[in-house]
């Protein structure tokens, strides 16, 4: 089966969102940065306030913890979009993906690659995309809007049957 599509910045953002939402190390780091770090900061300043008797350390701890939380919250919220801001000529071009019994091959105007089924990391999908992971953090992103609903479902079925 062969499918052709062109990726946009929104497709790359969708992949980053999907990948980060399903990455256990990223989610663990996000929780630590969002919740643990501000609490540790607040506790450290509280200890200083108790040992010195100065209320200003309490205020500094509360403000520091709040600033830490807000900065981290907005940084993580923007992370997927920030990853897609760098222009990548091998992403934002026409792709041809061929699915066969041997594996998956992908070609663009500037490159081509072929992966056996054993060489692929995983294949995931959601309502709008199919993600064929060729490494733990990169994938061929096949958008439903580019290939059409029928072709999209046919690709999903071909991938399921071929594995």
3-state secondary structure at position 101: coil
Q: What's the distance, CA 98 to chain centroid?
A: 24
42-61 b/e with 16+ CB inside 10 Å = b?
beebeeebeeeeeeebeebb
Comparing C-alpha atoms, which of 76, 96, 67 is closest to residue 1? Answer: 96
3-state secondary structure at position 25: helix
* Assigned CATH for 2-8+88-162: 2.30.29
Each domain of the chain, given as residue ranges in start order, spans 2-8+88-162, 15-83
Tell me the pLDDT band of 87, cut-offs 50, 70 and 90: low
pLDDT in tens, 23-80: 899 899 999 999 999 999 999 999 989 899 888 888 988 999 999 999 998 888 787 6
Give the model's pLDDT for residue 163.
65
Give the model's pLDDT for residue 89.
72
Whole-model pTM: value is: 0.74
């Amino acid at each position: 089966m062969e499918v052709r599509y062109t990726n946009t910045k929104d497709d790359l953002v969708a992949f980053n969102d999907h990948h980060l939402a399903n990455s256990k190390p990223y989610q663990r780091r996000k929780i630590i940065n969002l919740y643990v770090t501000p609490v540790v900061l607040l506790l450290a300043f509280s200890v200083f306030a108790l040992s010195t008797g100065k209320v200003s350390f309490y205020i500094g701890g509360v403000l520091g913890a709040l600033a830490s939380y807000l900065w981290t919250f907005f940084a993580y919220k923007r992370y997927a979009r920030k990853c897609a801001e760098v222009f990548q000529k091998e992403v934002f071009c026409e792709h041809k993906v061929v699915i066969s019994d041997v594996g998956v091959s992908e070609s663009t105007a500037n490159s081509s690659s072929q992966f056996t089924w054993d060489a692929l990391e995983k294949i995931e999908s959601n309502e709008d995309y199919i993600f064929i992971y060729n490494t733990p953090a990169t994938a061929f992103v096949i958008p439903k809007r580019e290939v059409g609903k029928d072709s999209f479902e046919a690709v999903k079925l071909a991938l399921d049957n071929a594995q």
